[in-house]
């Protein structure tokens, strides 16, 4: 693991994370030993638009039943469990051992161990066989990856011919500097964003054919405004992304939302196919 990767893993590391999530679940009245994936969306959908964004990306991807999917940068495994709920099998891969350990614990408590496998690993050096997967998925993970070409080349290698990759990621917009902290970093050291055209160039450079490309920024900004318009409860739920991102999560989310709203960030969705 490189120094950069160790820094990324350390940013997301969190001792006792599973215990804290289980405690929060019990506090909101859930049985932590008999969970439904939908009860976890407040904490395990670690990206803009939350579960709504995952559902939209799945709908756009159009995966066949029984597909074997590799989720790169899987975090706590929320999207992986959502994918598995649509009759897919998923390998959920992430650099951060704490996230993988907690994600595997949540998957077991959802009774989905046979559908989702959690694996610690590097998306730029996949510990997986050539042509093993029907699909590759990544969602709000590329911000922390300096060498995106290497990750896309590995995704291409892991896909069977005819397989597809779907990504949903923030990109550089106006070029004005971001306000920190954001969920993926407390400063610019861990931030590796590209303009949409540069990102597409790297996807195509390794052999992918782009078959779908959309700007999802407006949908993300609208989602943020709807969330902000909700009445604030007197006693906020203990179950939320702050369990992963820390007590300054509200500031991180505000900085991210403002950058999307004013054009400093653009969110794109890309579907790309391996044709050979």
Average pLDDT score over the chain? 95
pLDDT tier at 231, thresholds 50, 70, 90: confident
pLDDT tier at 269, thresholds 50, 70, 90: very high
235 has pLDDT over 90? no
**pTM over 0.85, yes/no:** yes
pLDDT tier at 232, thresholds 50, 70, 90: confident
34 has pLDDT over 80? yes
Which burial class, exposed, middle or buried, applies to 162 when counting CB atoms under 10 A from its CB (0-12, 13-18, 19+)? exposed
1 has pLDDT over 80? no
Both tokens of 185, joined, read: 């970093």
Which residue range(s) make up the domain with 169? 3-228+237-273
pLDDT tier at 230, thresholds 50, 70, 90: confident
Angle between helices 249-261 and 217-229 (to 10 degrees): 130
Order of strands, sheet of 265-273, starting from the edge strand that comes earlier in the sequence: 116-120, 89-94, 68-72, 133-139, 159-172, 265-273, 209-215
Q: Which residues pair with 28 in a beta bridge?
A: none
4 has pLDDT over 90? no
Residues 84-133 have pLDDT tens digits of: 999 999 999 999 999 999 999 999 999 999 999 999 999 999 999 999 99
Q: How many domains does the chain have?
A: 1
- The pair phi, psi for residue 45, each rounded to 5°, is -105, 80
CATH label of the domain that carries residue 168: 3.40.50.150
More confident residue, 55 or 231: 55
Both tokens of 232, joined, read: 């604030």
Long-range contacts of 258-261 (CB under 8 A, 24+ apart): 258/179, 259/173, 259/178, 259/179, 259/182, 260/48, 260/170, 260/217, 260/220, 260/221, 260/224, 261/221, 261/224
**What's the pLDDT score for residue 234?**
78
Alpha-carbon gap, residue 230 to 225, rounded angstroms: 9
140 has pLDDT over 90? yes
**What's the pLDDT score for residue 2?**
86
């Amino acid at each position: 693991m490189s120094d950069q990767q160790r820094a990324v893993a350390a940013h997301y590391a969190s001792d006792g994370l599973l215990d804290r999530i289980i405690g929060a679940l019990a506090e909101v009245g859930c049985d932590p030993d008999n969970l439904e994936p939908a009860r976890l969306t407040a904490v395990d959908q670690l990206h803009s638009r939350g579960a709504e964004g995952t559902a939209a990306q799945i709908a756009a991807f159009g995966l066949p039943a029984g597909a074997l999917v590799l989720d790169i940068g899987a975090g706590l495994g929320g999207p992986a469990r959502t994918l598995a709920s649509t009759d897919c099998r998923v390998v959920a891969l992430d650099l951060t051992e704490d996230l993988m350990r907690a994600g595997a614990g949540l998957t077991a408590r959802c009774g989905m161990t046979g559908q989702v496998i959690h694996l610690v690993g590097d998306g730029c050096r996949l510990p997986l066989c050539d042509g093993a997967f029907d699909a590759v998925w990544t969602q709000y993970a590329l911000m922390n990856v300096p060498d995106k070409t290497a990750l896309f080349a590995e995704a291409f290698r892991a896909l069977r011919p005819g397989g597809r990759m779907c990504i949903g990621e923030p990109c550089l917009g106006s070029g004005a500097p971001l306000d920190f902290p954001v969920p993926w970093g407390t400063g610019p050291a861990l931030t590796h964003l590209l303009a949409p055209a540069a990102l597409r160039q790297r996807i195509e450079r390794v052999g992918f054919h782009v078959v779908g490309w959309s700007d999802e920024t407006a949908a993300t900004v609208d989602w943020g405004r709807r969330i902000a318009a909700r009445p604030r409860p007197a006693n906020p739920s203990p179950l939320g992304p702050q369990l992963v991102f820390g007590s300054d999560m509200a500031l991180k989310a505000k900085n991210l939302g403002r950058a999307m709203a004013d054009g400093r960030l653009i969110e794109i969705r890309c579907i790309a196919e391996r044709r050979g």
